[in-house]
Amino acid sequence: MNLTSENILFIGSILLFLSILAGKTSYKFGVPTLILFLGIGMLAGTDGMGIEFDNPSIAQFIGIVSLNFILFSGGLDTSWKSIKPVLWQGISLSTVGVLITAVSLGLFFWQISDFSVYEALLLGAIVSSTDAAAVFSILRSKSLALKYKLRSVLELESGSNDPMAYVLTIAFLGLVMQPETSFTSLILLFIQQMSIGALLGLAFGWLSRQTINRINLGFDGLYPVLVISMMFTTFSFTDILGGNGFLAVYLCAVYLGNHDFIHKKTILKIYDGMAWLMQIVLFLTLGLLVNPSEVIPLAGLGLAASLFLIFVSRPLGVFISMLPFRMKNRRRSYISWVGLRGAVPIVFATYPLIAGIEKANIIFNVVFFISVTSVLIQGTTLSKVAAWFKVALPEKAKPVSPLDSFLKETPKTAMVEIHVPEENPIVGEKILDLGFPQNAIIAMIKRDKNYLTPNSTTKILANDTLIVLAETYEHLKNVYEVLTIPFPDFEDDH
C-alpha cells in the first residue's frame, strides 16, 4: 500500500490511536511503550500490512522535528537546582563517556565484522548516546525515584549527550567518505559545534523569555505557538552558524524552565503532550522504515554488539568518565544500566543511508536491533536493578519532579488573605516578575469590592487583597518574603 494524500491522514490517525491504546496498557505487562510504538509501525510496514515507506530523508526530517520537541520538553522540566550539584558529572558522561562508548564498541565491531575501522567507529558513534525520549518516558512513567541525585544525573546526561553523538557521527561519516580527513579538523569541528551551541542556546533562552513576557499577542492561544517558533529558530539559526542545534534547543529550554514567563503552566502542559505525540510519531515512522526481513539475518551480529554495548562499552564509559567524582561503584553500575538506546540512534543511522555509503543498510538494521534490545533488556528492568543496587527510594519518600509538582492539581491546605499596603515595593509589579513560589498561588485578588482571577501579567495595585493558597503554612513564609510583608504568627489560629 502506498501512502497518498487521500489515505495518509486516515492511516496515520488509526496508527496513532492504536499506539495510544498500546501505551496505556503496555506497562501492565512490563513492556515499554516505545517498543509498542515501533512494533505497530513495523506491523503496518512493508512486511506487515504492506504500507511502503522507504524514504530516509523524510524519516530524518521527522526525527529532527520530533527530537526538538522531546529535548525542549525535557529541558523545560530540568530544574537547575537539581542539576547544579551534578552538573560536571552530567557533562563528563555526555562527552568523555560518549566518546569512550563509541570507540570501544566500534573497535569491537571492527573485530567481529567485515567493516573497516572507520565504518565500525561510525556504528559505535551512532549508538553512543543514551536516548532522551526513552530515559524521560520510562523513568517518569515508572515513577522511579532514586537516591543520591541519580535521576538528575541520568536525565541531564540523556538530555545533553545527543550533541556529542551527533558530532561523532558526522565526524566518522566524513572519515568513511574521505579517509584523508585530518583529526585536527574533527577536533575543531567538535569545539565549534559545542561552544556555538551552548552560547546560542543560553542566548536564545534569554531572548525567548524576554520576547514572551514583553510581546502582547492579544490571544492566549498564540503564546504556545510563539514558543514553538522560538524553539525552531534556536535550532535552525544555531545550525546555520555551525553550532549544535540539539544542544542549543536543550539549553534554551533549561533556561526558560527555570524562569517565570507568561502562561508557563499552559505551555508546560502543551509541551508535555507534544513530546508524547512526537515520540509516537517518531517511533511509528522509524517502525515503518524498518523491514524485519532485513533485520533478522543480522540478529547474531546485532545481538553481539548490543550485549557488548550493555555490559562492556557503556560501563567502561561510565566508570572512566566518573573517576574524578566520589561515587560508590553500585551507583556507577546503575548509571551504566540506564544506558537506554531508542529512537535517536535510529535517526542518526539515517545519515549514512542518505550519504549512500556501502554499509549503510547493514548499519541501519544493526542499530535498530541494538536500540530494540536495549529498551527491552534495560528498560524493563530499571526498577528491579535499582533495588538490587540499593539506589531506589522508598515509595513514601519519592520526590515530585518539577513538572509534576507544577502541573499536578493538588489541593492546597493553607489559605490566607494578604493586604498590600500603598508603600509596598511590589505595587505596580506583574505577578510574573515577583518570583512567586511554585508551591503557592494567588488564587484571586480582591480589588475595590470586586474579585479578580489573576494571570501572570496581572499587576499588583495598592490596597489589593491577595487570596493566597499554599501547600502548607510553612510554605507561606516564602510568600510573605516575596511580597516583602512581615510574616504573621498563625500558631494560635492553626
Q: Mapping DSSP to helix (H, G, I), strand (E, B) and coil, where does residue 376 land?
A: helix
Angle between helices 33-44 and 132-141 (to 10 degrees): 120
Query: 184 Cβ partners below 8 Å, 6+ apart?
Result: none
Give pLDDT tens digits along the chain (494 positions).
555 555 667 766 776 777 666 655 554 444 556 677 777 777 776 666 667 777 888 888 988 998 899 889 888 888 788 788 888 998 999 999 999 999 999 999 999 999 999 999 999 999 998 876 667 666 665 556 666 677 788 878 887 888 889 889 999 998 999 888 777 888 888 889 889 999 999 999 999 999 988 887 877 788 889 999 999 999 999 999 999 998 899 999 999 988 888 888 788 888 888 887 887 788 788 878 887 788 888 889 999 999 999 999 999 999 999 999 888 888 889 889 988 887 788 889 999 999 989 899 999 999 988 988 888 888 778 778 888 888 776 554 445 444 444 444 444 456 788 888 888 888 888 877 777 776 777 888 888 878 887 877 788 888 888 888 877 667 777 788 888 888 776 554 44
Residue 417 bridge partners (DSSP): 467
DSSP H or E stretch at residue 355: helix 350-355
pLDDT at 23: 58
Domains of the chain in start order, with CATH, are 8-402 (1.20.1530.20), 410-482 (3.30.70.1450)
pLDDT at 123: 95
pLDDT at 230: 94
- First-to-last CA distance in the chain? 69
pLDDT at 449: 75
DSSP string, 70-104: HHHHHHHT--HHHHGGGHHHHHHIIIIIHHHHHHH
> Which grid cell is 116?
573497516
pLDDT at 407: 40
pLDDT at 402: 44
pTM for this predicted structure: 0.75
Identity of residue 294: E
> Which grid cell is 216?
502582547
